[in-house]
Amino acid sequence: MQKITIISSTNRENSYTEKVANYYRSKLEDLGKNVRVLSMKKLQKVVDMNEIYAKDKSEAFNEMVKEFIIEADAFIFIVPEYNGSFPGILKVFIDSLPPANWHEKRVCLTGVSSGRAGNLRGMEHLTSILHYLKLHVYHNRLPISAIDKIFSDGNLPEATAKDIEKQLEGFLKF
C-alpha cells in the first residue's frame, strides 16, 4: 500500500498549518490511505538543531527520517507563508538529508496564509528546490488564503473543501 507523509511545515505551536495537515490526514484516512503527519515541531524535539548537519545523527532522528521520508512513496507539504516564502525550519530539514532520500517520489503542495495569495510565492520557491531533488510535483498546487478567517472548528468552507477533495483525487492518480 502506498505510504503518504503529510509535512506540516512549521514549528509554531497551534498553527493553522498543522490544523490543515490534520484535515488532509482525516480526508485521506477516510479514503483508506496509509498516511501520517510529520510536524516540524517534532524535528526540534528529536534533534539538537546545532547538530542538524552532523554526519552521524541521533538514532531518533534517523528513525524519524526512515519512517516519514525514506519509507514514504509520496508527500503532501502544507506550507505557511513566512516573509513571502516558506519556513526556514523546513529548509533546514530538507538540507539536513541526503538528496537521494527524496528522489523520484511524488509531491503535492498546499499553501496557507492569512493574506490573500495563499503562499503562492513560497510554493514556487519550494517547487524549485523539490525539482532539484528530483521529486515529481503535482501541478494542482492549492493556495488557501485568509486561513485565520475561514478555518473554524476543524472545518473549511464548502468551496475550499471541494478544492481539497479535487486536489487529492488528482494527486492520488498522479
- Give backbone dihedrals phi and psi of 75, rounded to 5 degrees, phi first: -130, 145
Mean pLDDT value across residues 4-33: 96
Instruction: Kindly tell me the sign of the dihedral angle through the C-alpha atoms of 146, 95, 44, 36.
Output: positive
pLDDT tens per residue across span 75-132: 999 999 999 999 999 999 999 999 999 999 999 999 999 998 999 999 999 999 999 9
Q: Where are the domains of the chain?
A: 3-173
Please check whether the domain covering 3-173 is classified as CATH 3.40.50.360: yes
pLDDT at site 1: 64
Neighbours of 81 (CB within 10 A): 24
For residues 94, 99, 100 and 106, what is the CA-based torsion angle, rounded to 10 degrees? 60
62: left (phi over 0), alpha (psi -120 to 50) or beta: alpha
The model's pTM is 0.94
pLDDT tens per residue across span 19-71: 999 999 999 999 999 999 999 998 877 777 777 778 888 888 889 999 999 99
